[in-house]
Structure 1
Amino acid sequence: MEKPTSFAVRIAAAAALFSVHAPAMAGGYYIQEQSAKETGRAYSGDAAAADSAATVFFNPAAMTELEGLNLDANVHAIFVTTNHENRGSFRTVPGSASTPGITGNGGGTPFPQPLVVPSSYASYQVDDRLWLGLAVFSPYGLMAEYDEDFFGRYDSRRSELFTLNVQPSVAYKLSDNVSIGGGVDIQYAKVHLTSAVPGFLPGDPDGFLDVTGDDISMSWNAGIFLKSGALRAGLHYRNEMKHELEGDFVVTGLTGPLAGANVATSVDADLNLPDIATLSLAYDNGGPGRLYATARWYDWSDFEEIRLEPLGLDDAVNTQNYKDSWSVAVGGEYDVSERLTLRTGTMFDATPTQDGFRTTRVPDGDRTWLSAGATYKLTDHMEVNLAYAHIWMESGPITRTETFFDGTPAVFTTDTRSRTGGNIDMVSIGVSSRF
Structure 2
Amino acid sequence: MSKQILKLSLVAAAMAMATGQAHSAAFQLAEQNATGLGRAYAGEGAIGDNASVLGRNPAAMTLFDRPALSAGAIYINPDVDVEGKGALATAGQANGLPTSSQDIADDAVVPFFYYVQPLNEQWAMGFGAFTNYGLSTSYQNNHYAGSVAGSTSLKTLNLNPNIAFKANQHLSLGAGFNAVYADAELIRHSGIAAGNVNAATGGATSLVPTSEFVRLKGDDWGYGWNIGLLLEADEYNRWALTYRSKVDLTLEGEYSSALPQQPNNASISAGLPVGTSSISKPGSLDLSLPAIAEISGFHQVQPDWALHYGLMWTEWSTFEELRALDNQGGSYFAKPEGFENSWRMSMGATHQLNDQLTLRGGLAYDKSPVPENARSISIPDVDRIWYTVGATYALNENLSMDASFAFLDGKKVTVREDSGIPNTPYEFISGGDAYLFGVQMNYTF
Q: Does the alignment reach a TM-score above 0.5?
A: yes
What does 1:325-404 align with in structure 2 at a 5 Å threshold? 325-403=342-420
Aligned: 1:317 with 2:319: no
* Shift in CA distance, 200/263, structure 1 to aligned 2, threshold 3 Å: farther
Structure 1 pair 138–305 and aligned structure 2 pair: CA distance change class (3 A)? same
Residue 394 of structure 1 deviates from its aligned partner by: 1.9
Specify the code of the residue in structure 2 equivalent to 1:111.
A
Deviation at 1:8, TM superposition (A): 6.7
Matches for 1:252-271 after TM superposition, within 5 Å: 252=258, 254-256=260-262, 259=275, 262-271=278-287
Aligned to 2:229: 224
Q: Bigger shift: 21-30 or 418-427?
A: 21-30
- 273-282 vs 9-18, greater mean Cα deviation: 9-18
For residue 359 of structure 1, report the CA deviation from its aligned partner: 0.5
Question: Which amino acid is 1:27 matched to?
Answer: A
Q: How many angstroms apart in 2 are the aligned matches of 1:310 and 1:54?
A: 41
1:125–1:55: structure 2 CA closer, same or farther, 3 Å change rule?
same
* 8 Å Cα contact 1:89/1:151 also seen in 2: no
Q: Distance between the aligned counterparts of 2:224 and 2:146, measured in 1?
A: 35
Residue 203 of structure 1: how far off its partner (Å): 3.0
- In structure 1, give the amino acid aligned to 2:216: V
Structure 1 letter corresponding to 2:14: L
Q: Which residue of 2 aligns with 1:106?
A: 100
Q: Tell me which residue corresponds to 2:240.
A: 234
Q: Residue 103 of structure 2 aligns to a residue in which SS?
A: coil
Q: In the superposition, relative to structure 1, how do residues 369 and 260 fare at CA in structure 2: closer, same or farther (>3 Å)?
A: same
Matched residue type, 2:343: W
- Paired residues of 1:164 and 1:189 also in contact (CA < 8 A): yes
8 Å contact from structure 1 (residues 4, 260) kept in 2:
no
The aligned counterpart of 2:289 is 273
Residues 59, 223 of structure 1: 8 Å contact kept: yes
Corresponding residue pairs, total: 418
Aligned CA distance change for structure 1 residues 261 and 8 (closer, same or farther; 3 Å): farther
TM-superposed CA distance for 1:45, in Å, is 2.0
> Secondary structure of the equivalent of 2:65?
coil
Displacement of 1:33: 0.8
Letter in 2 for 1:296: M
User: Of 6, 19, 23, which aligns to 1:22?
Assistant: 19
Does the aligned pair in 2 maintain the 1:34–1:74 contact within 8 Å? no
For the residue of structure 2 that corresponds to 1:256, the secondary structure is coil
Single out whichever of 38-47 and 413-422 deviates more from structure 2: 413-422
* In 2, Cα distance between equivalents of 1:16 and 1:146: 13
Residue 413 of structure 1, CA deviation: 8.4
CA distance in 2, matches of 1:129, 1:286: 29
Distance change in 2, residues 1:186/1:314 (3 Å): closer
Q: In structure 2, do the counterparts of structure 1 residues 356 and 8 end up closer, same or farther at CA, with 3 Å as the change threshold?
A: closer
The alpha carbon displacement at 1:279 in A equals 0.2
Which one-letter code corresponds to 2:429 in the other structure?
Answer: R
Select which of 159, 182, 192 maps to 2:185. 192
Aligned amino acid, residue 65 of structure 2? E
Q: Residue 317 of structure 2: which of 290, 301, 306 is its match?
A: 301
CA 1:101–1:396 in 2, change beyond 3 Å: closer, same or farther?
A: farther
Please tell me the residue identity of whatever aligns with 2:160: Q
- The answer for unaligned runs of 5 or more in structure 1 is 94-99, 404-410
Q: Structure 1, residues 239-287: CA drift from partner, whole Å, max 9, x if none?
A: 0010011121211262438957642222222100111100001001561
Amino acid at match of 2:15: F
The answer to whether structure 1 residue 203 and structure 2 residue 209 are counterparts is no
Displacement of 1:148: 2.0
SS of the residue corresponding to residue 16 of structure 2 reads helix
Aligned position for 2:254: 248
Given residue 245 of structure 1, which amino acid in structure 2 is its aligned partner?
L
Amino acid at match of 1:324: N
Give the equivalent residue in structure 1 for 2:136. 143
Moved more, 19-28 or 60-69: 19-28
Residues 51 and 66 in structure 1, CA contact (< 8 A), matched pair in contact too: no
TM-score (norm 2): 0.88
What amino acid does structure 2 have at the position aligned with 1:379?
A: N
Amino acid aligned to 2:48: A
Give the alignment of 1:6-17 within 5 angstroms: 10-17=7-14
Q: Would the aligned equivalents of 2:9 and 2:147 in 1 still touch at CA under 8 Å?
A: no
2:443 aligned with 1:433: yes
1:55 aligns with 2:53: yes
Secondary structure of the residue aligned to 1:301 is helix
Moved more, 193-202 or 390-399: 193-202
Per-residue CA shift, 1:325-374, capped at 9, x if unaligned? 10100000111101111110000000011112100112210010111111
- What is the distance in 1 between the residues matched to 2:312 and 2:162? 21
Q: Is the 8 A contact 2:78 2:103 kept in 1?
A: no
Contact 2:362 2:389 (C-alpha < 8 Å) held by counterparts: yes
CA contact (8 A) 1:108 1:147 kept: no
Residue number in structure 1 paired with 2:171: 178
Distance in 1 separating the partners of 2:153 and 2:332: 24
C-alpha change, 1:192 and 1:89, in structure 2 (3 Å) is farther
Query: Per-residue deviation at 1:74?
Result: 1.6
